[in-house]
A and B are shown apart, each in its own frame.
Chain A
Amino acid sequence: MLSRSAERLYWLARYLERTENTARLIKVTMNLIYDLPYGTEVGWHNLLTICGVETAFNDCGKSPNEQNITHFLVADQNNSNSLLSSLAFARENIRTSRELMPDEAWEQVNEMYLYAINNLDNLSNRRGRVVFLQEILRGCQRFTGFIAGAMSRNDSHRFICVGRNIERADMTTRIMDFGTVLLAENRSLIAREYEGILWLNVLKSLNASLMFRKQGRQGMQGKDVLSFLLGNPDFPSSVNYCLQEIAYCIAGLPNSTALLEPLNALDRALLAFKMDETTPLQLHEILDGLQIDFNTLHSHIAQTWFFNNLTE
């Protein structure tokens, strides 16, 4: 498999995962905001933080209301992290990797992109926005389902899987980081009153609410939610699970020895973590550290397999 192709598939998967995450995050936030009384510290601006685009949004000088923030996160092509940008990058990557995937994979992404650019007008009202996001989510799920059923577990699939899980783990830590705000000692009375609903929505933004309940024993306690998202070995969006997937795929790739150390470091970081003994501030630092570790892992992957870093 060409190094160039490996890089494209890896990014294809990351961008599609980002597209899906952004769509779900906005959908869940819309539902949450309808439940909360006016004046809570939780609001649309949190989405900017979670997506890491707070500065970029502030730079464009628009007031941080629902309309402007959702437009920025979904449709703004100047925001390279927007849903539409991610989808366009995904499409460009799969368009240039067509010889590695069944036709339907390309058609799925292409159709989703065409839907998005043809329906941007729907985003201006809430009802249209729900339909739009739902369609994008379905498109991403169709793609994932198709790949699951029609693609050999070969190197191409491994790079897709690695890309998807790095992006996913990164998003999980970002959402958890938002959770540290909800645990803060100085949180408002409203936040305390609505704690259950807030944590439920944290779970929903990762499709995790049912699976969290199913593992038994607990109610909707913040610390339990965070432990689940970090360490649960079975749930696909937990950081632990994503890292297992990454390690499994990387083990199947050639020349992977250089990756063993950064993967082990991540494992150790997870094992050492004890929720009960951690303050919200410490948790924030730990999550920051994890995100840096993901970046390091990405650099190692790029150096080992990707095109730009090859020397003759």
Chain B
Amino acid sequence: MATSTIWANYQADKAYDEMINSQGNARSLCSTLAQYLQTLNTDALKGRRSAAEAAILEMGITFTVYSEKGNIDRAWPFDIIPRLIEFQEWKKIEAGLTQRLKALNCFINDVYNEQSIIKDGLLPADLIESSSNFRRECIGMRPKFGSWANICGSDLVRAGNGEMYVLEDNLRVPSGVSYMMENRAITKRVFPELLQNLNVMPVDAYPAQLFEMLTSLAPNPDSHPQIAVLTPGIYNSAYFEHAFLAQRMGATLVEGNDLVVKEDDCVYMRTIKGLEKVDVIYRRIDDLFLDPEVFHKDSVLGVKGLMRAWKAGNVALANAPGAGVADDKVIYAYVPQMIKYYLNEEPILPNVPTYLCSDPEQLAYVLAHLPELVVKPANESGGYGMLVGPHASKKDIQQFHKLIQDNPRNYIAQPTLALSTCPTLCDDHLEARHIDLRPFILQGEHSFVTAGGLTRVALRAGSLIVNSSQGGGSKDTWIIHTEQ
């Protein structure tokens, strides 16, 4: 590969590289792409990148970052080199993700009703009681189809052995799906000739599938239900996505004070015609801000009485309140057992081995091996509050030692995975950068998995943190049919 300057000094030997094998040759799946990149010189490649950046600005693809100077809309960070996955492998991943969400929903439904998984001794009761995302208010509820987590974003990583693992399941208000679609729209502008010549699965089906899923949740799905997307407002980091999804579905984008719950326990929105009934709410607000009558009293984002309306069955909420109980990194460790317990199936996708600090034996191991482990708080998202042992200072390690000892239930640890890498345009040449993948899974009456997902890339050399709020970027993800 050393013939072209853009590949000069490309090192793919430190982890599994998605494009280049350990001999330094392009994997067969990526041969067309690699050959094509070979034909581009430095200037051509930079030109493509400028085109992508211009498209992002024009299309207004932004995310909001909080800073001391107020909220800033940043242009979406995008790397033009796509990440490829073979269709047959993807089929297996898709089946694994569908299976996983089904089991998670069985679990949530069980936790708020019979609690048979606890009674049968598979899961200690105190794990649920101590979970900060367990909502007593939801006990006894049975949403339609037993489906609590209707929209899930699971993070997948490929380890050094080439195998895909599930790193975590985001069941509260996962974001990123709009960027997955916009990334493809940008790539169509930047590499049209490549998309033409390769058999890449389209990603645009998502909004229609989301709409159908939300419709299926309506108390009366046959009567053209009124669907609303509930956003915390323009200052939320994912406002772009909320507006994007509402627009693509033809749904109404509402804020808390657009909605009101009347004495009949139904939800209405304030329209130019007066009050109009709302049947399904895709809420992008955390549980605790949903309803000041039940949760945070001072929440101005939510709607007074929303929980009443939901409990009365007059409105569907997606995801259901309380679904986050399964979005807990301690509960995560039990998912393979859940799959066997609820579905009587073998897990298709493996978990990353996980040490629970709540278990004294595992805690001792974790404390003794902090420099080689990744430690995560059970209920954080966005990559915050983590310790990456091999990259951490002595001081950080001491600090986590204490944090974990003070509150072992709140921490899990995993071996530091050598996340796979993918060629990424750095300045004027390609370098290997670590990536993960967030596919989105829907479950209402039916299940659906996006074709690929959002590939996130850690733009700093060697970094394993892919979150966009912490200097991560993204790539278009191509699921490729290789058979003719």
Contacts and interface: CB of A to CB of B under 8 A. Distances in A.
Contacts of B254: 2
Given A95-B60, A107-B59, A310-B270, A2 B251 contact: no
B246 A254 contact: no
A4 to B, nearest CB: 6
Contact of A110 (B58, B234, B253, B255): B58
Contact of A2 (B234, B243, B252, B260): B252
B247 A307 contact: no
A99 B270 contact: no
Interface residues of A, number: 25
B258 A255 contact: no
Given A106-B60, A107-B60, A98 B272 contact: no
B224 interface: no
Contacts of A211: none
A99 B273 contact: no
Contacts of A312: 260
Given A2-B258, A111-B58, A99 B247 contact: yes
B59 A155 contact: no
Contacts of B273: 1, 254-255
A228 interface: no
A96 B240 CA distance: 9
B312 interface: no
A132 interface: no
A188 interface: no
A114 B272 contact: no
A251 B57 CA distance: 39
Contacts of A305: 272
Contact of B255 (A4, A103, A107, A111): A4
A115 B183 CA distance: 23
Interface string A94-113: 01101110010011001100
Q: Is the interface of B mostly helix, strand, loop or mixed?
A: mixed
B271 A98 contact: no
A220 to B, nearest CB: 43
A6 interface: yes
B442 interface: no
A3 interface: yes
Interface string B56-79: 011110000000000000000000
A253 interface: yes
Contacts of B270: 2-4, 307, 310
Contacts of B258: 2-4, 307
Contacts of B57: 110, 114
A254 B60 contact: no
Contacts of B247: 98-100, 103
A111 B247 CA distance: 19
A255 B229 CA distance: 26
B42 to A, nearest CB: 26
Interface in A213-257: 253-255
B96 to A, nearest CB: 34
Interface in B416-464: none
A290 B251 CA distance: 39
A99 B252 contact: yes
B244 interface: yes
B404 interface: no
Interface string B268-303: 011111100000000000000000000000000000
A253 B255 CA distance: 23
Nearest to B228: A2
B420 to A, nearest CB: 34
Interface in A293-309: 305, 307
Interface in A1-47: 1-6
Interface of B: 57-60, 229, 234, 243-244, 246-247, 250-255, 258, 260, 269-274
Given A110-B60, A114-B58, A155-B272, 20 more contacts: A1-B272, A2-B252, A2-B270, A3-B258, A4-B258, A95-B60, A95-B243, A96-B234, A98-B244, A98-B246, A99-B229, A99-B246, A107-B60, A110-B57, A110-B58, A114-B57, A254-B272, A255-B272, A305-B272, A307-B270
What are the 5 tightest A-B residue pairs by CB atom distance, in nearest-first order? Answer: A99-B246, A99-B247, A254-B273, A98-B243, A305-B272
9 contacts: A2-B252, A3-B271, A95-B234, A96-B234, A99-B250, A99-B252, A305-B272, A307-B270, A310-B270
